[in-house]
Amino acid sequence: MALGLVFWSSAGWADEGSGLSGGDTAWILTATALVLFMTLPGLALFYGGLVRAQAVLSVLMHCFTICCVASLLWLFGVYSLAFGDGGALNPVIGGLDKAFLAGVGADSLSGTIPETTFFMFQMTFAIITPALIAGAYPERVNFPVVILFSAIWLILVYAPAAHWVWGGGWLADLGVMDFAGGIVVHVTAGVSALVLAVVLGGRRGFPREITPPHSPGMTMTGAAMLWVGWFGFNAGSALAADGSASMAMTVTHVSAAVGALSWAVTEWVKYGKPSLIGTVTGMVAGLASITPASGFVGPVGALVIGLVGGLLCFAATMYIKRVVKIDDSLDVFAVHGVGGALGAILTAVFAATSLGGMGLAEGGTMGGQVLVQLLGVGVVAVWSGVVTFAIVKIIGFVVALRVSEEDEIEGLDIVAHGERAYELQTLAR
């Protein structure tokens, strides 16, 4: 059985007699903390350094608030929709049988770990996915929109996608391979971010007068936390302390390093200087690209996926910002959407044992798996885009999507939250 199906089976359909493993439980508890560390503080600092000084606190507030909202919704019923038993509707969505963790006790198991551990591990994925989308709308979005959009999106986009791929839904039945979220996390977030950026419109002065990142050092600090936390993201998705987790960690690190260097070299050749912002963005591109493949490929696959991911995501960034002129402000679609889709498709290639991978499903072929992966990416992308568009339009009837031009100039830190990250007069001197 392919590792992706083992991942799915560990979501609650593993053999009853497998028994509790202290080692597996300890590792997944650690991985859970690492993935939360990716969002708070990793992603928050990564995004915060990329915006103007007048908006950095608003970005941190977005990430922190999304974490709180997603955590409660996960408990209230989103976990059950993603991983519960949907009965006749199970190919499409789970039921509400596990809302508020009904029927889940201290002794309830999901594979070899407590179900509460699995619940918490998957919660961190549900937290970081809408937080990634926050990179599409900084400096101009109305704060109530952040809360409303993230909550509705988690229910209508993330829960179905997670169920289709990981919760025993119809894409799982077709054999879609997504070890740690290239489709479920990165494609959903990337496509939704692009749609949201188009509907919301660009920042004041885009594309000619956008202020450069106010703190590349803050962004690098956040990127370093993302790199470390991503080990929990990918290696934790093995749901066991075993060789699969170890290989997933290895290929994750390799792809991140190659992605960073490929982006830096591309900038060096094109502009004469490699930038810190570009290098750490390439690292994230390498991580996003390897995520769906991390439990299926070996080091050779990681090298190629990280290299292509860095180069392709760089090209996508230039195209989105400079050619089609969409202000996906912090490049969520170009890095996460493109990287996740690329990695999901290349999983079908480099999972082959002849290329050092762990092997395809019994009887499967590389060409057939590529088609399955394309179907998975396409369906989830279309669902994410269409539903996101509807959500944003409906919210727009209730509350203004963006702040006024005057408020945007003043900065969301003061306008929305009454605080400043820095004493700007001191910085000016």
Convert the pLDDT of each residue in 148-172 to its tens digit. 999 999 999 999 999 999 999 999 9
What span, in angstroms and rounded, lies between the C-alpha atoms of 141 and 162? 27
Q: What is the pLDDT, as a whole number, of residue 425? A: 59
What span, in angstroms and rounded, lies between the C-alpha atoms of 65 and 62? 5
In this structure, what token pair is assigned to residue 7? 């991942």
- What domain range includes position 412? 3-421
Chain-wide mean pLDDT for the chain? 94
* Position 238 in a domain: yes
Cα–Cα distance list, 93 to 38, 130, 163, 268 (Å): 28, 19, 6, 47
Q: What is the pLDDT, as a whole number, of residue 221? A: 98
Count of all residues that appear for the chain in the document: 429
What's the rounded mean pLDDT across residues 92-103?
A: 97
Percentage of the chain beyond pLDDT 90 is 92
* Position 272 in a domain: yes
Q: What is the pLDDT, as a whole number, of residue 424? A: 58
Burial 294-315 (b: 16+ CB within 10 A, else e): bbbbbeebbbbbbbbbbbbbbe
In this structure, what token pair is assigned to residue 90? 């199970």
Instruction: CATH number of the domain at 186, please.
Output: 1.10.3430.10
* Position 223 in a domain: yes
Strand partners, 121: none
Asked whether residue 16 carries a pLDDT value surpassing 70, the answer given is: no
What's the rounded mean pLDDT across residues 289-297?
A: 98
For residues 185 and 133, the answer to whether their CB atoms sit within 8 Å is no
Cα–Cα distance list, 75 to 86, 103, 116, 355, 358 (Å): 17, 13, 11, 41, 35
What's the rounded mean pLDDT across residues 104-112?
A: 94
Q: Classify burial at 95, counting beta carbons within 10 Å of its beta carbon; exposed 0-12, middle 13-18, buried 19 or more.
A: middle
What span, in angstroms and rounded, lies between the C-alpha atoms of 388 and 195? 7
* Position 93 in a domain: yes
For residues 327 and 207, the answer to whether their CB atoms sit within 8 Å is yes
Strand partners, 114: 109
What span, in angstroms and rounded, lies between the C-alpha atoms of 174 and 181? 17
DSSP character string of 258-275: HHHHHHHHHHHHHHSS--
Q: What is the pLDDT, as a whole number, of residue 45? A: 98
pLDDT tens-place string over residues 205-259: 998 888 899 999 999 999 999 999 999 999 999 999 999 999 999 999 999 999 9
Q: What is the pLDDT, as a whole number, of residue 11? A: 37
* Position 429 in a domain: no
Q: What is the pLDDT, as a whole number, of residue 429? A: 43
* Position 101 in a domain: yes
pLDDT tens-place string over residues 308-348: 999 999 999 999 999 999 999 999 999 999 999 999 999 99
What span, in angstroms and rounded, lies between the C-alpha atoms of 149 and 273? 39
Q: What is the pLDDT, as a whole number, of residue 167? A: 97
User: How many structural domains comprise the chain?
Assistant: 1
Q: What is the pLDDT, as a whole number, of residue 18? A: 61
What span, in angstroms and rounded, lies between the C-alpha atoms of 423 and 136? 26
Amino acid letter, residue 80: S
* Position 428 in a domain: no
Task: pLDDT band for 291, please (50, 70, 90 cuts).
Answer: very high
Percentage of the chain beyond pLDDT 70 is 94
* Position 426 in a domain: no
Asked whether residue 386 carries a pLDDT value surpassing 90, the answer given is: yes
